[in-house]
Amino acid sequence: MPEPVVAQKGPYPVELEAGKSYYWCACGHSANQPFCDGSHAGTGITPVKFEATETGTAWLCGCKHTGDKPFCDGTHSKL
């Protein structure tokens, strides 16, 4: 499996809407971080689709190495 590019060493605070589907960028190449813009083409890495369970602020992973995709689990502090 190819390694993702670290987009930033910290999470992205984003506003999510309950019941809505989102695509989190897993490759790190998207210009629309932390969401997918299709830049993963040819990388062998695909975005992670998820549905927000509640409306409000979520902290999405920016380093792309989290163990709780797409949410930040603090892994960036070990990179």
Write down the domain spans for the chain.
1-79
Q: Above 90 in pLDDT, residue 1?
A: no
pLDDT at site 40: 96
Give the position of tokens 């070990």.
78
For residue 27, give the nearest of 6, 12, 9, 8 by alpha carbon: 6
Structure tokens at 36: 């997918």
pLDDT in tens, 34-57: 999 999 999 999 999 999 999 999
